[in-house]
Structure formats: structure tokens, C-alpha cells
């Protein structure tokens, strides 16, 4: 399926606001891909489709994860929305014929982040947090930082996400902490 066909299919799978968000994530991720001189198409596909499973409810996400044989951690069990990345990646592999591992990884990890993410995952996560429809202040900062220094932008996003989750009293997924720790420990100019 080409990008146009994927867009069309996604539009019939998501509510209009979520679809619009997906288009904005794709646009920003593509800008970042050009900035970092990395092939644009896989970034566009991952960013466009990252929330394919976001509108499934908790019970659906849990039963799909179970049917697909995915590892369901205790945090996922308590907060099934955390599964929408991993379940989304499986849906794309099984029903959308998306087979590129780096695209599937980007969709799978966009919710929690993960240590040592690939470029497509990093750009998808950055764009998801920083797309211009996000009007909170930290999204604005992240949008600026994303074009200056990727690891700093990612570290900033994880710090913001963790703060938000703690303040709201939500469950914090261990991968988010691991992702941030890895960035803190690996600050030796990998760019
Ligand atoms: Fe998402
Ligand atoms: Fe999103």
C-alpha cells in the first residue's frame, strides 16, 4: 500500500480528531527526517500509523494482546492504554501488511519509549509529543529542541512525561524510566 492508500484506510479507522493528529505527527516527523537526512518514507508510515490502535478500549486492547501472544506486564494489565503501541504494531503486521521491523518497532514503543531506539522510533516519539496541535508549553520546547539536538529533546520529553505521570498519579511504565536513564548515561555525543 502506498502512503495515500494508508492514509485513506487510517481515516476510516480513527475519529477525525485522532486522524488529524496522526497527519500532524507525520508532517513533523517528515520535517525531522529531512533535517536529520534519514529516508523519509518509513518515518512517514510509522508516524502516520502510530495510533492505529489508540481508540480501542482497555478490554479490547487486553484481549487483542492476549490473542497475539504479546507479553502483558503488570503495568499494562492495570493501564491497558499503555498497550496501544504494541497492539497497534501487531495489527499493522497482521492486517495492513506492514513488515518493516523498524516501522513496527516505532509504533510499538511510541507510548512508553525504550532504551536504544532506532531513528524511526525516535522521530515518531518526538513528533507525537511535539506536533503543533499539542498546545502545552513543553510541546513547544520539545518542537524547538528536536531540531537542535535529538538526545536532549528526547531526554526532555521523557522527563516531562514522567513528571506528568507522577503528578497525575498514573502508573509509570518501567521502560520510560529505562529510556531516560539510557539517555542520561549515554551522553557522549551520539548524534
Ligand atoms: Fe499513542
Ligand atoms: Fe499519538
pLDDT single digits (tens) 165-176: 999 999 899 999
Is 165 contained in some domain? yes
- Asked if the model's pLDDT at residue 85 lies above 70, the reply is yes
- Asked if the model's pLDDT at residue 190 lies above 80, the reply is no
CA of 67 to the centre of ligand 1 (A): 21
CA of 51 to the centre of ligand 2 (A): 5
Of 97, 99, 101, 123, give the one whose Cα is nearest residue 43.
123
- Percent of the chain whose predicted confidence (pLDDT) is above 90: 95
CA of 149 to the centre of ligand 1 (A): 23
CA of 68 to the centre of ligand 2 (A): 22
> Residue 144 contacts by C-beta under 8 Å, 6 or more apart in sequence?
none
Ligand nearest to the CA of 22: 2
Is 32 contained in some domain? yes
- Asked if the model's pLDDT at residue 188 lies above 70, the reply is no
CA of 53 to the centre of ligand 1 (A): 8
Q: What distance in Å separates the CA atoms of residue 85 and residue 107, rounded to the nearest whole number? A: 5
pTM of the model: 0.94
Is 159 contained in some domain? yes
Is 191 contained in some domain? no
> Whole domain around residue 105: which residue ranges?
3-185
How many C-beta neighbours within 10 Å does residue 32 have?
25
- Asked if the model's pLDDT at residue 101 lies above 80, the reply is yes
Q: Note the pLDDT of residue 53.
A: 98
CA of 186 to the centre of ligand 1 (A): 26
Is 107 contained in some domain? yes
CA of 48 to the centre of ligand 2 (A): 9
The tens digit of pLDDT for each residue in 113-134 reads 999 999 999 999 999 999 999 9
- Mean pLDDT across 81-103: 97
Ligand nearest to the CA of 110: 1
CA angle at residue 69 from 43 to 81, to 5 degrees? 60
Is 42 contained in some domain? yes
Is 80 contained in some domain? yes
Q: What is the CATH number of the domain that holds 66?
A: 1.10.3210.10
Please report which confidence band the pLDDT of residue 187 belongs to, taking 50, 70 and 90 as the band edges. Answer: low
- Asked if the model's pLDDT at residue 141 lies above 90, the reply is yes
Is 190 contained in some domain? no
CA of 74 to the centre of ligand 2 (A): 23
Backbone angles phi, psi at 96, to 5 degrees: -115, 0
Q: How many domains, in total, are found in the chain?
A: 1
CA of 187 to the centre of ligand 1 (A): 27
> If DSSP codes are grouped into helix, strand and coil, which group holds residue 191?
coil
Q: Note the pLDDT of residue 20.
A: 98
- Asked if the model's pLDDT at residue 189 lies above 50, the reply is no
- Asked if the model's pLDDT at residue 12 lies above 60, the reply is yes
Q: Where are the alpha helices (DSSP H) in the chain?
A: 3-11, 16-35, 40-49, 58-67, 74-78, 84-95, 101-109, 119-130, 137-146, 150-168, 174-185
Amino acid at each position: 500500500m502506498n502512503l495515500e492508500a494508508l492514509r485513506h484506510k487510517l481515516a476510516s479507522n480513527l475519529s477525525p480528531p485522532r486522524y488529524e493528529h496522526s497527519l500532524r505527527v507525520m508532517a513533523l516527523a517528515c520535517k525531522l527526517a529531512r533535517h536529520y537526512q534519514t529516508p523519509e518514507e518509513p518515518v512517514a508510515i510509522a508516524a502516520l500509523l502510530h495510533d492505529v490502535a489508540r481508540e480501542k478500549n482497555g478490554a479490547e486492547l487486553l484481549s487483542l494482546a492476549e490473542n497475539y501472544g504479546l507479553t502483558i506486564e503488570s503495568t499494562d494489565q492495570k493501564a491497558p492504554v499503555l498497550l496501544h503501541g504494541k497492539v497497534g504494531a501487531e495489527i499493522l503486521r497482521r492486517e495492513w501488511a506492514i513488515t518493516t521491523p523498524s516501522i513496527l518497532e516505532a509504533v510499538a514503543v511510541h507510548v512508553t519509549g525504550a532504551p536504544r531506539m532506532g531513528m524511526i522510533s525516535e522521530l515518531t516519539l518526538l513528533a507525537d509529543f511535539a506536533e503543533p496541535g499539542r498546545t502545552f508549553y513543553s510541546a513547544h520546547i520539545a518542537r524547538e529542541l528536536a531540531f537542535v539536538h535529538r538526545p536532549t529533546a528526547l531526554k526532555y520529553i521523557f522527563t516531562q512525561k514522567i513528571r506528568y505521570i507522577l503528578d497525575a498519579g498514573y502508573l509509570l511504565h518501567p521502560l520510560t524510566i529505562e529510556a531516560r536513564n539510557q539517555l542520561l548515561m549515554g551522553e557522549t555525543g551520539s548524534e
